């Protein structure tokens, strides 16, 4: 698995290099820094026959490199995050550090390419890239705040809105991208409701509305780009190995 970043091109960069970084006076981070490493990895996978998985793809260029590699039969896979599917660098115009992440949010063109990529199988799975930070770490100038956002508790609702409502994907197909497909990629006996499988079960309401507030996020870190936003799609119960560990907004046990 590889975090695809050419460090020579991103030194000092804090957001996507483009019109918004120029307007805001922030050091840019070009999407080429990702595309170069994705291209390198696909060539190495093709040369060696090794399987390489690309983490948190964010650029249209990287999606196209992966698409062409898969058409040639190269054994590469890739993931995309909820925040890269839903948000763009335009969200940073008020310097909110909860929109600072690695790789950075990119343009609407990139976002649409990611949606197309996950729909046509170029991108294989959804992954949250959950990166918790304390409030005092994030409450700094944009240049100095750490990269990363929390994503576990908002993942289902955000992906449902983008992939099902906006892009027309079925709910079971979207859930598969979070469950059995990642398990298959890692060769893990998980992610299914088949007989004999471990009883890891989520009970959800796809139409329930809820507002993302610091009080509604149960994790210790609250650095979510969706704070104050109303989302549709709520997890009502989580069962791990047959034991209920979360129910109706409360952690049990």
71-86 pLDDT per residue, tens? 999 999 999 999 999 9
pLDDT of residue 187: 94
Crossing angle between the packed helical segments 60-71 and 32-48, to the nearest 10 degrees: 20
pTM: 0.97
Residues labelled as active-site residues: 129
Predicted confidence (pLDDT) per residue in 189-231, tens digit: 999 999 999 999 999 999 999 999 999 999 999 999 999 999 9
Q: For residue 166, give Cα distances in angstroms to 85, 116, 141.
A: 11, 11, 34
pLDDT in tens, 234-245: 999 999 999 999
Separation between Cα atoms, residue 106 and residue 123, nearest integer Å: 17
- Positive or negative CA dihedral for 225, 228, 232, 234? positive
Pairing of strands 201-211, 230-240: antiparallel
The alpha carbon dihedral of 11, 15, 18, 20 has a sign of: negative
Please give the pLDDT value at position 40: 98
253 pLDDT above the threshold of 80? no
The domains located in the chain, with CATH, are: 7-195+207-234 (3.20.20.140)
Mean of all residue pLDDT scores within the chain: 97
């Amino acid at each position: 698995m590889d975090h695809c970043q050419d460090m020579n091109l991103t030194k000092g960069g804090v957001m996507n290099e483009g019109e918004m970084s120029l307007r805001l006076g922030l050091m840019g981070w070009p999407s080429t820094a990702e595309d170069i490493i994705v291209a390198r990895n696909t060539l190495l996978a093709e040369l060696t026959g090794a399987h390489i998985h690309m983490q948190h793809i964010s650029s249209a260029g990287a999606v196209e490199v992966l698409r062409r590699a898969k058409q040639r039969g190269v054994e590469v896979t890739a993931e995309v995050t909820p925040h890269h599917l839903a948000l763009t660098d335009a969200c940073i115009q008020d310097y909110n550090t909860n929109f600072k992440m690695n790789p950075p949010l990119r343009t609407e063109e990139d976002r649409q390419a990611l949606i197309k990529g996950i729909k046509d199988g170029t991108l294989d799975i959804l992954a949250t890239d959950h990166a918790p930070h304390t409030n005092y770490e994030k409450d700094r100038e944009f240049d100095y705040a750490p990269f990363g956002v929390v994503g576990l508790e908002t993942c289902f609702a955000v992906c449902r809105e983008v992939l099902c409502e906006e892009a027309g994907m079925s709910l079971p197909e979207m859930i598969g991208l979070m469950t059995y497909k990642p398990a298959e990629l890692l060769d893990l006996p998980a992610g299914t409701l088949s007989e004999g499988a471990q009883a890891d079960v989520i009970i959800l309401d796809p139409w329930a509305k809820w507002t993302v507030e610091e009080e509604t996020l149960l994790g210790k870190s609250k650095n979510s780009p969706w704070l104050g936003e109303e989302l549709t799609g709520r997890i009502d119960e989580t069962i791990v190995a047959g034991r209920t560990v979360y129910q109706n907004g409360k952690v049990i046990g």
